[in-house]
């Protein structure tokens, strides 16, 4: 017994000594964005690290090493609350404005919260790093600055917004890396649009956020605090929810690490017996249809729902599983082959052997889950990056795109028949799934390794020299200018010498001619 007690104490000692203490700051009130953060935190907790979390989504059940220390009140309810009318009105605004204000300046007002201000005070034991979403509220970097610890960012979407690459020294090549809903290869017109849109979004975001966030930082932490633009340049690492199989080859600094699909976990998910039986009994296969965690399909125009009813009813005996938050709001006439539920365990459904097709709005998290499971898609994008996400899958021949404003029964029938009857889509989806999952380490282990690396070797261990250089130095404007000046000087000297030589030759020729005339 004494030996067993010593072994237990030794193992406990090792687990405590090897673990870091981390602070997670995720105040943005988007459940889909938090999905990546939550799985990252749980993965770190399973490795023995202690994580204190600030978010709007506290865990319903205790999780070892995971502590919700501040719960941010939800001011705008998004889960199952966005109607078609709200979507059209709210998401039609300039995306940069919506992000810079709603996901940036408004969140930075939380720095006035005493519980959040208190996080900037030294702790015992101290925190080893801050992990935060790098979206638009970089003001929270003030906490890492005051605690003098590394700041690690996560990006739940598949690209760095235009205002992010330069803060981490990420090389930009706008000739083939798009910051808008453009797909490669980029024609001259698309490249011109890409450059102009990128420059505009960078300037507009900085214009929107700098003064507001600087004022909030200095109001709550003192007048001598650095600006938000200075704070964001202290990032040590960004974990981005992308992968080369979906988002293509892009230039990357070591401080930007792809961890696409990190959230694809089925831990603690269970299937309701009734739902499991329904899927198992779907011998002819079934289609899974959802517009994500926010949208209410039942509020869409009757014409759109009429198209769905007609087309989905025709494919029986193939069944359809639909997420409908409020089924009572659906119009009458729902086809008998459709099973509806207000909540569905998405990953477990996509993993089922009988699923044939996924109809989605193109949210990146959902698409990565479908790709992981090798399921082809019909994409009906609604807003923001969903158009780009669907376009990327269409280019890889694993999806067909339809548009909510122009969809017809004929186009829906054609899309359903193409994917259900043409095995090429399924084969392509499975091949892409194999490539998506084929990595030296899975996404959560990759993220954990690089977080631990930064903590072990310091906040500047992955820092690119580009962070400390101006745009004109990075673009070699000074070098090319110097070379142009040298070339100009050389040309001037050569021209001067040539003119001088021509004058000498002309003078000699004139002298000889004069002498010849005198002799004659």
* HEC sequence for 285-322: CEEEECCCCCECHHHCCHHHHHHHHHHHHHCCCCEEEE
pLDDT of 10 > 50? The answer is no
pLDDT in tens, 99-110: 999 899 999 999
Question: Quick one: pLDDT band at residue 16, thresholds 50, 70, 90?
Answer: very low
Q: Which one-letter DSSP state was computed for residue 5?
A: H
pLDDT at residue 92, as a whole number: 67
Structure tokens at 222: 């003192």
Q: CB under 8 Å to 399, separation ≥6 — which residues?
A: 376, 377, 378, 379, 390, 393, 425
The pLDDT assigned to 215 comes to 97
Two structure tokens written together for 390: 């669907």
Mean pLDDT, to the nearest integer, of 286-315?
92
The pLDDT value given to residue 80: 72
Q: For the stretch 206-225, what's the b/e string if a residue is b when 16 or more beta carbons lie within 10 angstroms of its beta carbon?
A: eebbeebbbebbeebbeeeb
Residue 239 in 3-state DSSP? strand
56-98 confidence digits (pLDDT tens): 999 989 999 999 999 998 877 777 778 888 888 777 678 889 8
pLDDT greater than 60 at residue 3? no
Q: Is-contact 446 438, C-beta < 8 A?
A: no
First to last CA, the chain: 132
Provide the 8-state DSSP code for 44. H
Whether residue 162 contacts residue 368, with contact meaning beta carbons closer than 8 Å, is answered with no
pLDDT at 224 over 90: yes
For 222-261, where are the alpha helices, taking DSSP H only? 228-232, 244-247
Residue 107 Cα distances to 53, 73, 97, 306, angstroms: 16, 11, 14, 40
- Residue 400, beta-bridge partner list: 378
Mean pLDDT of 158-179: 88
**What would the pLDDT profile of 200-217 be if each residue is shown by its tens digit?**
999 999 999 999 999 999
For the chain, give the percent of residues with pLDDT over 90. Answer: 68
- Lowest pLDDT segment from 374-383, 392-401, 498-507: 498-507
Q: What is the pLDDT of residue 185?
A: 65
For the segment 459-485, the average pLDDT, to the nearest whole number, is 91
Asked if 432 and 245 count as a contact pair (C-beta separation under 8 A), the reply is yes
Mean pLDDT across the chain:
89
Mean pLDDT score, 481-496: 95
Q: If we measure between CA atoms, which residue out of 176, 201, 172, 202 comes closest to residue 190?
A: 176
Closest of 292, 242, 244 to residue 262, by C-alpha = 242
pLDDT on residue 70: 94
Average pLDDT over residues 158-176: 90
| Model pLDDT, residue 145 | 96
The model's confidence at residue 384, banded by pLDDT at 50, 70 and 90, is: confident
> What would the mean pLDDT of 16-33 be, rounded to a whole number?
86
* pTM for this predicted structure: 0.88
Residue-level pLDDT at 1:
46
Confidence at 2, pLDDT banded by 50, 70, 90: low
* Closest C-alpha to 396, from 430, 364, 359, 442: 430
Q: Which residue has the higher pLDDT, 471 or 411?
A: 411
152 closest CA partner among 286, 25, 277, 319:
25
Round to whole Å and give the CA distance between 441 and 78: 34
Q: How far apart are CA 501 and CA 272, in angstroms?
A: 96
Higher confidence at residue 178 or residue 140? 140
Mean pLDDT along residues 398-417: 95
Where residue 65 falls (left for φ over 0; alpha for ψ -120 to 50; beta otherwise) is left
Residue 506: the pLDDT is 78
Percent of the chain with pLDDT over 70: 93
């Amino acid at each position: 017994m004494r030996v067993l007690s010593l072994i237990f104490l030794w193992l406990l000692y090792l687990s405590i000594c090897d673990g870091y203490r981390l602070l997670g700051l995720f105040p943005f009130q988007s459940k889909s964005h938090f999905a990546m953060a939550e799985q990252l935190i749980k993965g770190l907790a399973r490795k023995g690290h202690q994580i204190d979390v600030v978010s709007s989504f506290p865990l319903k059940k205790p999780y070892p090493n995971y502590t919700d220390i501040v719960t941010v009140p939800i001011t705008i309810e998004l889960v199952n609350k966005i109607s078609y009318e709200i979507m059209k009105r709210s998401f039609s605004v300039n995306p940069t404005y919506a992000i810079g204000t709603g996901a940036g300046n408004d969140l930075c007002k939380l720095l006035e919260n005493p519980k959040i201000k208190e996080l900037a005070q030294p702790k015992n034991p101290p925190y080893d790093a801050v992990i935060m979403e790098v979206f638009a509220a970089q003001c929270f970097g003030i906490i890492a600055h005051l605690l003098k610890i590394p700041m690690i960012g996560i990006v739940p979407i598949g690209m760095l917004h235009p205002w992010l690459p330069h803060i981490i020294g990420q090389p930009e090549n706008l000739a083939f890396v798009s910051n808008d809903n453009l797909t490669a290869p980029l024609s001259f017109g698309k490249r011109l649009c890409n450059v102009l849109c990128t420059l505009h979004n960078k300037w507009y975001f900085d214009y929107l956020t700098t003064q507001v966030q600087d004022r909030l930082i200095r109001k709550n932490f003192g007048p001598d605090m650095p600006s938000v633009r200075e704070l964001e340049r202290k990032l040590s690492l960004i974990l981005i929810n992308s992968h080369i199989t979906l988002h293509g080859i892009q230039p990357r600094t070591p401080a930007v690490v792809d961890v696409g699909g990190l959230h694809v976990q089925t831990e603690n998910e269970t299937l309701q017996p009734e739902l499991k039986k329904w899927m198992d009994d779907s011998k002819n296969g079934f289609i899974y249809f959802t517009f994500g965690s926010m949208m209410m399909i039942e509020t869409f125009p009757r014409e759109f729902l009429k198209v769905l009813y007609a087309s989905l009813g025709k494919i029986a005996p193939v069944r359809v599983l639909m997420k409908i938050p409020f089924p009572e709001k659906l119009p009458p006439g729902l086809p008998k082959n459709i099973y509806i539920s207000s909540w569905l365990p998405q990953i477990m459904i996509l993993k089922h052997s009988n699923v044939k097709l996924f109809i989605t709005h193109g949210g990146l998290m959902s698409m990565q889950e479908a790709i992981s499971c090798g399921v082809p898609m019909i994409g009906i994008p609604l807003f923001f990056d969903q158009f780009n996400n669907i376009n990327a899958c269409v280019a890889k021949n694993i999806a067909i795109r339809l548009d909510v404003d122009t969809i017809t029964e004929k186009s829906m029938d054609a899309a359903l028949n193409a994917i259900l009857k043409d095995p090429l889509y399924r084969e392509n989806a499975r091949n892409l799934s194999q490539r998506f999952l084929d990595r030296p380490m899975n996404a959560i282990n990759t993220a954990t390794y690089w977080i631990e690396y930064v903590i072990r070797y310091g906040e500047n261990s992955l820092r690119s020299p580009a962070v400390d250089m101006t745009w004109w130095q990075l673009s070699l404007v000074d070098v090319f200018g110097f070379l142009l000046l040298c070339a100009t000087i050389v040309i001037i000297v050569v021209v001067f010498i040539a003119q001088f030589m021509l004058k000498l030759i002309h003078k000699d020729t004139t002298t000889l001619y004069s002498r010849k005339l005198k002799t004659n």
